[in-house]
Structure 1
């Protein structure tokens, strides 16, 4: 089935079933083009919380679809490929995290949204890279904090706030794949390019950046410098939306350590979703994401706290 044909069929099914398609900036361009909303984790959580669709098709990874299900327990939430996981979420197994939390009582537990529903259920408040600073700053200064699972984001927040937090040792493979050597060589080649980076990147990469922020924040920054030239240190999928929003900006993906086809950093999990899988999952209303009632109720509390603070 051709791409145009597939798109038409997806559009028809969507109307027929009162479905909404939510996609992350790291999805392939064809999926971003057909989505009702493309955003970062915070924007996607907000959209999931307010949708009146009967079916949510989440073109992203597992933890994102789970978050949508936690917010909409009575709706069908579909993920085009159940194997679309997340290296960061996997770096924080619920059992080990529960033991870690129990061994540090009296700490407020802040978890980055990139974690499983079971980990969210052990959390006091969830955050995303867009609002992590605001959320940590909302906690009284004398209150000890556990921050999980991303140690790079945690270190960045500690530097920004001067707070001492207990960090879980997790990270995202994509954001740790940037090569400092290649980045500096690229910058020498394009000295008038500014480096912009996601706070999940390692500290030495963040030190080179003119701007550090979430995917949505990076797009906004480029919008405010429409004639700018940028080396972009996050998953390369963001370049599609960035270029669409700011056609006059010059964008170069930050180089990865390994020599892959695009020589940039790509998330294999994000790229598992295809138009065909999207069509099939909407047609068959499967695979569905399920969260047990107990976990859903516990995980909803910290997510709602985050949404309340992010208004």
Structure 2
């Protein structure tokens, strides 16, 4: 799927949008993978953890979440009395879809005393059956908070799970074999070809990527000044301070506009230039504007699911709530 074209008259569109945002006491949140024209009109951009916190803390009564469904659901979990809208019917996520509530129930039955750590890239129904959520940036911290003798069911991303297990050394992790089809296609072969082509370039890798192999870890261990495993927000922070001239980026290509804006001097290059998430590109200019006034795009969740899933999300953003006792 090609990227949705930006508005033909950006100034007029942005004026209309800002007027509607003000009128409806709204805020526009945009994930770093969103196309540049959406991030330009957003009030706040960031990764999943940051946007989850902003959704919780804002005093706006309407949250327009430009991302995919699980992100808007997470905002609704933290702000159940606010109106949360996702300006696209079909902004799903292949990773979130790789595990269902029924899958998790069956898995938990096999490990009844395990603690379930759910990557935030999951549906509200899956979060409701989990003990704690995590993001790519705080997953090692969350897993490290769990005693070594406790079993962990980590879901759904196999590459992030393997990365976290390596970083933390937790001895009792079971990892679900899910993946983001976009990140999985950033493969070891693609990475190897790019690094052979540019042997002096540094590398920023999102831990969801399929290229997170033992070879890459060995490279990271031997060349710590050149290789970083980072979340999207961490990539932007790294971009601002890097002294490198050429940086290879292993993640969804929507972030390149943020990296280039953060440090125009550096040449940021995608490891896989076709790593474009079709679900992150579902929002049209017309739909974004319409979402402020229409009920069509409003996120609605079952009250029981909200109560159960909110506990797991709150444990993600507040470490003091991670008190682990046996069931």
Shared fold, TM over 0.5: yes
Judge which range, 95-104 or 62-71, deviates more: 95-104
Find 1:159's aligned residue among 154, 166, 169.
166
- The question of 1:127 aligning with 2:137 is answered no
Distance 1:105 1:45, change over 3 A: same
Contact 2:187-2:209 at 8 Å conserved across structures = no
Question: What does residue 198 of structure 2 align with?
Answer: 190
The correspondence of residues 37-186 of structure 1 with structure 2, limited to 5 A, is: 37-163=44-170, 164-186=172-194
Query: Offset of 1:219 from its aligned partner?
Result: 1.6
| Counterparts of 1:25 and 1:234, CA distance in 2 | 11
- The question of 1:219 aligning with 2:223 is answered no
Question: What does residue 230 of structure 1 align with?
Answer: 247
The SS at the match of 1:196 is strand
Contact 1:78-1:288 at 8 Å conserved across structures = yes
The SS at the match of 1:53 is coil
Judge which range, 220-229 or 264-273, deviates more: 220-229
CA RMSD of aligned residues (A): 1.7
CA displacement, residues 218-266 of structure 1 (integer Å, 9 cap, x when unaligned): 12222221443111000000111111111112100112xxxxxxx4301
- The question of 1:239 aligning with 2:256 is answered yes
Judge which range, 240-249 or 36-45, deviates more: 240-249
Question: What does residue 303 of structure 2 align with?
Answer: 293
Distance 1:67 1:13, change over 3 A: same
Contact 2:155-2:161 at 8 Å conserved across structures = yes
The SS at the match of 1:174 is helix
Q: TM-score, normalising length from structure 2?
A: 0.89
Question: What does residue 267 of structure 1 align with?
Answer: 277
Question: What does residue 260 of structure 1 align with?
Answer: none
CA displacement, residues 72-103 of structure 1 (integer Å, 9 cap, x when unaligned): 11111000102100000000111111111122
Q: TM-score, normalising length from structure 1?
A: 0.93
Contact 2:127-2:309 at 8 Å conserved across structures = yes
| Counterparts of 2:91 and 2:317, CA distance in 1 | 25
The correspondence of residues 192-211 of structure 1 with structure 2, limited to 5 A, is: 192-202=200-210, 203-204=212-213, 206-207=216-217, 210-211=227-228
Contact 1:27-1:273 at 8 Å conserved across structures = no
| Counterparts of 2:296 and 2:21, CA distance in 1 | 14
Contact 1:31-1:274 at 8 Å conserved across structures = no
CA displacement, residues 48-85 of structure 1 (integer Å, 9 cap, x when unaligned): 11011010000000000000011111111000102100
Gapped regions of structure 1 (runs ≥ 5): 256-262
Instruction: State the number of aligned residues.
Output: 304
CA displacement, residues 1-33 of structure 1 (integer Å, 9 cap, x when unaligned): 623222111111000100000000000101001
Distance 1:254 1:75, change over 3 A: same
Question: What does residue 290 of structure 2 align with?
Answer: 280
